[in-house]
A and B are shown apart, each in its own frame.
Chain A
Amino acid sequence: MPDLGPHAVFIWAAYGVTLVTVVALVIAIVSDDRRQRRLIAELERQGLTRRSAKAATAKAATVKPAASAKPKPASAKTPRARKPKA
């Protein structure tokens, strides 16, 4: 280790504070990112996907229209592609 002279304590303190603060920030951001990724994966496992994702899946699969006796009116909650913006 290099000799840091009479003010070594100030130099180590400055580097120490920087290290501790930055590491705390890294831990906070990385753990939040992991948590959100875990949550979204859980929701997707439960079959919850975004409307745009559902629309893409519906397009890919050949979905038969539901053979229901009483046809229900289309609700706003049914998956459908958003109207393209003008």
Chain B
Amino acid sequence: MWNLANPTRFLSIADRIIPWLAGLTFLLLGIGLYLAFFVAPPDYQQGETVKIMFVHVPSAWLAMFGYTLIAVASIGSLVWRHPLADVAAKTAAPIGATFTFVALVTGSLWGKPMWGTYWVWDARLTSMLVLFLLYLGLIALWQSIEEPGRAGRAAAILAIVGFVNVPIIHFSVNWWNTLHQPASIFRVGGPTIDPSLLTPLFVMAAGFTLLFVLLHLIAMRAEILRRRVHALRQMHVEHAAAA
């Protein structure tokens, strides 16, 4: 584990894993889309619109997974000052923001035919919008402070404070009276969704998760290299000034 936490070691492992992960991600997403469009039956109440679930639900899970990852990495960054933790937190934010955006838009497009409205200010939708704004805040913070160490510490504090929103999103459907349906997969008593719809959902969720991990690894590699390029240029300038 500590070996992996060394940036050089991380780069060599990432270089080896990325091509395989890319292949597996394409395969899973291909199978998932085939199951979603050609195998999964229409829902008895929602008809074919249930197909939106196969992109909406995995995106929403990853939106929360991404923020949890940032919060955990931020603790690593603040407590141990580990540069890889900082890199992991910084690079997960745009990916998490993208999946949050996808969850919000696809949910809205699912809401219109099923609820009769694109948007309602209920607890689940609003807390998800707050998550999206938190992601944007983190990205803005990293962009606005030039020195990576300072930017990382400020963003880590915001990320940890903002984590309070994640359980609120999850339990919002139980705590408040919302238009959004309650939990139907991870609940006491098992899922309430039929296996014919649950299987394509899990395959798509696995494909989306691998896509997140793949993009995160590539983004982390790019960020490590960016910091090296920056350090080398600075060293070059110092050399030139000393000469």
Interface size on A (CB < 8 Å)? 35
B65-98 vs A, CB cutoff 8 Å, 1 = contact: the mask equals 0000000000000000000000000000011001
Q: Which of A13, A28, A36 contacts B225 (CB 8 A)?
A: A36
Given A4-B48, A14-B106, A25-B98, are A32 and B219 also a contact pair (CB < 8 Å)?
yes
Interface residues of A (CB under 8 A from B): 2-8, 10-11, 13-15, 17-18, 21-22, 25-26, 28-30, 32-33, 35-37, 39-40, 43, 48-51, 75, 77
For residue B110, CB closer than 8 A to chain A, the reply is yes
For residue B218, CB closer than 8 A to chain A, the reply is yes
Enumerate chain A residues within 8 angstroms of B225, measured Cβ to Cβ.
Answer: 33, 36-37, 39-40
Interface residues of B (CB under 8 A from A): 37-38, 42, 47-49, 51-52, 55-56, 59, 94-95, 98, 101-102, 105-106, 109-110, 112-113, 211, 215, 218-219, 221-222, 225-226, 228-229, 231-233, 235-236, 238-239, 242
- Rounded to whole Å, the gap between the CB of B225 and the closest CB of chain A is 4
State the majority secondary structure of interface residues on A. Answer: helix
| Shortest Cβ distance from B33 into A: residue | A15
Name the residue in A6, A15, A30 with the highest tally of chain B Cβ atoms < 10 Å from its Cβ.
Answer: A15
What number of A-B contacts does a CB cutoff of 8 Å give? 103
- Rounded to whole Å, the gap between the CB of B89 and the closest CB of chain A is 16
> A33 and B101: CB pair below 8 A?
no
- Rounded to whole Å, the gap between the CB of B224 and the closest CB of chain A is 8
> A17 and B232: CB pair below 8 A?
no
| Shortest Cβ distance from B94 into A: residue | A25
> A17 and B109: CB pair below 8 A?
yes
- Rounded to whole Å, the gap between the CB of B21 and the closest CB of chain A is 13
Name the residue in A25, A29, A30, A39 with the highest tally of chain B Cβ atoms < 10 Å from its Cβ.
Answer: A29
Enumerate chain A residues within 8 angstroms of B242, measured Cβ to Cβ.
Answer: 75, 77
Given A11-B48, A14-B109, are A36 and B229 also a contact pair (CB < 8 Å)?
yes
- Rounded to whole Å, the gap between the CB of A29 and the closest CB of chain B is 5
Q: Which of A10, A50, A75 contacts B228 (CB 8 A)?
A: A50
